[in-house]
Amino acid sequence: MAARKYFGTDGVRGRVGNELINPEFVLKLGWALGKVLSRDGRSKVVIGKDTRISGYMFESALEAGLVAAGADIMMLGPMPTPAVAYLTRTFHAQAGIVISASHNPYFDNGIKFFSSIGEKFPDKAELEIEAQIEKPMRTVEADQLGKATRVEDAAGRYIEFCKSTFSSGSDLRGMRIVVDCAHGATYHVAPAVFRELGAEVFTVGVEPDGLNINDDVGSTSPASLEAAVKLHRADIGIALDGDGDRLLMIDEQGDRVDGDELICVMAHEEHRLGTLAGGVVGTVMSNLGLEQSMAALGVPFVRAKVGDRYVIEQLKAKNWTLGGENSGHIIALNKTTTGDGIVAALQVVSAMLGSGKTLHELKAQMTKLPQILINVATRPGYQVGDDEAVQKVVAGLEKKLGDQGRILLRPSGTEPVVRVMVEGQQQDVIRQVGDELAGAVAAGVAQFVG
């Protein structure tokens, strides 16, 4: 498979105004998608976005490019990424587009695609789009131009879908829930889902202004949610990210429950009910405690590369349904086709109701090993795997840890950083190892000449 020039692990992403995330390139990107789809006849494309101020600009650019290629488009407005996946399927569109940089700050943005069945575009399709981008842009004849319509009931459709994934015959009456929408795409749908199921809902991060998405709120900054859970004496707190595909929760004692722990809760409940299909897929970043908890149940556990697309690939290859990342991307293929923070939260709540236990009690099913993650700024062209000095440091530190820990160095697919992860039995040891390794990577970056 040829290397991709423009696409990363989750579409095209970067700072607004750079060489890719600008109106001219996004116009061409929309046109290229339209041309690829037109090979099979006239196509229909669904477009949604999060609440970033730049979303309006890129929405217009994509609209122009797609229409120029002869594709019809359906504009959803601000909608979560998983909602776009769902609506792409239900509207029988040939593709779905999300304008979002997920958990990144407002000054970043990105474009990612879903196939007609609501799954991330495969590498082959992205390469076809990249090949089309290299060709001159030509507009179809006037009578072949695409048409654009706006979908007025998109939010209501998605709210009903989310509710349909909750245990039939159950409701949330008597529960107090705080929902943090990160001033992002779920601000107008997530609170409604839980209210309509009967919960008393308090909100955080539901006043987007185009600039405050993920700003000290949401799954990457849960301190505000922790305080709100304690203030309202809530049963749980639900933290979503800017585009709604990540989930972190806060238990009734105010403690954070990350993606690994939430996957563990879901797996234990499905195992108890006899509905767990096969095993569970994590990633190379998943805490060893999750693997150990699955082993105690006799449930197979495998690790994929980081990225929800790779988790889904493993799940489909094994015909399993549950997996995800410690960052909060949780995949429940028995419910939907992609990571969905609202749907995952509903499954955790269902486990609480089904077991009669609190979230704090349920997360105790997994003993999380100490793990640290340090992000080291990198520069274009630097490959940490090719840095012999860093690899020598890694070898020495792995020998020091022995079988009591593990090290992972991974270039981020969404940010210009190398992620340094160290996991082990003792917090002070892994902190020392992490700091030494991060220093070695930083020195390697500083010495690199591209």
Quickly tell me which residue has 């096969």 as its tokens.
Answer: 278
312 token code pair: 């889904």
Segment 347-364 shows an average pLDDT of: 97
Domain 12-151 has CATH 3.40.50.1820: no
From 43, 54, 102, 224, the catalytic residue:
102
What's the pLDDT tens digit per position in 313-351?
999 999 999 999 999 999 999 999 999 999 999 999 999
Q: Return all residues near 356 (Cβ < 8 A) that are at least 6 apart.
A: none
271/318 Cα distance (integer angstroms): 17
Element holding 406 (H helix, E strand): strand 405-411
**CATH topology agreement for domains 12-151 and 371-447:** no
Looking at residue 449, its pLDDT comes to 78
99-128 burial: b if 16+ Cβ within 10 Å, else e: bbbbbbebebbbbbbbbbebbbbeeebbbb
152 burial type by CB count under 10 A (0-12 exposed, 13-18 middle, 19+ buried): exposed
> Does residue 61 have a pLDDT over 90?
yes
Looking at residue 167, its pLDDT comes to 84
Domain ranges of the chain: 12-151, 158-166+174-363, 371-447
Q: Which of 165-169, 175-179, 295-299, 313-317 has the lowest mean pLDDT?
A: 165-169
> Does residue 168 have a pLDDT over 90?
no
Segment 153-165 shows an average pLDDT of: 97
Q: Which of 44-53, 149-158, 232-241, 404-413 has the lowest mean pLDDT?
A: 404-413
Looking at residue 62, its pLDDT comes to 98
Contact 265/297 with Cβ under 8 angstroms?
A: no
Q: Please give the CATH superfamily to which domain 371-447 belongs.
A: Alpha-D-phosphohexomutase, C-terminal domain (3.30.310.50)
Q: Provide the CATH topology of domain 158-166+174-363.
A: Alpha-D-Glucose-1,6-Bisphosphate; Chain A, domain 3 (3.40.120)
- Does the annotation mark 102 as catalytic? yes
Q: Which of 83-92, 342-351, 401-410, 428-437 has the lowest mean pLDDT?
A: 401-410
Looking at residue 433, its pLDDT comes to 94
Express as a percent the part of the chain with pLDDT over 90. Answer: 90
Q: 1 pLDDT band (50/70/90 cuts)?
A: low
